[in-house]
Amino acid sequence: DAGITQSPRHKVTETGTPVTLRCHQTENHRYMYWYRQDPGHGLRLIHYSYGVKDTDKGEVSDGYSVSRSKTEDFLLTLESATSSQTSVYFCAIRRTGATGELFFGEGSRLTVL
Amino acid sequence: SQQGEEDPQALSIQEGENATMNCSYKTSINNLQWYRQNSGRGLVHLILIRSNEREKHSGRLRVTLDTSKKSSSLLITASRAADTASYFCATESNAGGTSYGKLTFGQGTILTVHP
């Protein structure tokens, strides 16, 4: 258990509404990541963070923003949700000093109607 | 674009048989990793092989890496029903400067092991 908590775990929302997903870690690791998982696409990187207020875009960042105001929390925001953002979102951390493996949360399933 | 491509997409075997999954990738890498995902759960790291390694073992898992062919394989020996899951390869690229630990995942292989 890498001490990663994602919230909410399930959410149904309507097109055009803002949505924020939260990833919380208890171990104060520097690197955090948001991925989305869709059938036929595997996992795709949305945004990542390499420190407080240090974030950058991944492969599929359009329509998403992130914030990291403290080490333990990495927030993913959909400013105006669209049906194409219906997905399962996973947060991951890379443990400091580790060889490179990621530790994943349990996922947040988002449905945009 | 997907860095890793896996085959087969689905694999169905009987308990006790071996399962082999393959992964191909496109760019030069620092390491290649394999993850497992049970239905409805997050991914769990299984094994990591560095670019200068050719083979690695962990319990019933054996991973090979051929950087000249940009390919890897995961072998699960003496499979069990509990091995039923999706398996993903992931690569950490060393192209374009600091990777920040970012991984690019393949689409995965769904393994079903029948009791």
Alpha-carbon distance values, A95 to A4, A27, B48 (Å):
11, 8, 14
Cβ <8 Å between B4 and A50: no
User: Average pLDDT for residues B6-30, to the nearest whole number?
Assistant: 95
Cβ <8 Å between B106 and A42: yes
> Is some CB atom of chain A closer than 8 A to the CB atom of B58?
no
CA distance B6 to chain A (A): 10
Cβ-based contacts of B2 with chain A (< 8 Å): 41-42
Q: What is the mean pLDDT of chain B?
A: 93
Instruction: Name B11's bridge partners.
Output: B111
Cβ-based contacts of B109 with chain A (< 8 Å): none
Please enumerate in sequence order all residues whose Cβ is within 8 A of that of A92, keeping only pairs 6 or more positions apart, or say none. Answer: A4, A32, A33, A35, A102, A103, A104, A105, B43
Give tens-digit pLDDT for B77-106. Answer: 999 999 999 999 999 988 777 778 899 999
Query: CA angle, A60 as apex, A58 and A66 as ends, to 5°?
Result: 60
Percentage above 70 pLDDT, chain B = 97
Give the C-alpha separation, B72 to B53, whole Å: 11
| Best CA proximity match to B71, nearest among B3, B14, B15 | B3
pLDDT value of residue B5: 82
Q: Map residue B14 onto helix, strand or coil.
A: strand
Flag whether pLDDT at B2 surpasses 50: no
pLDDT value of residue B1: 39
Q: Map residue A58 onto helix, strand or coil.
A: coil
Give tens-digit pLDDT for A46-69. Answer: 999 999 999 999 999 999 999 999
> Is some CB atom of chain A closer than 8 A to the CB atom of B42?
yes
- State the pLDDT confidence band at A97, using cuts at 50, 70 and 90: confident
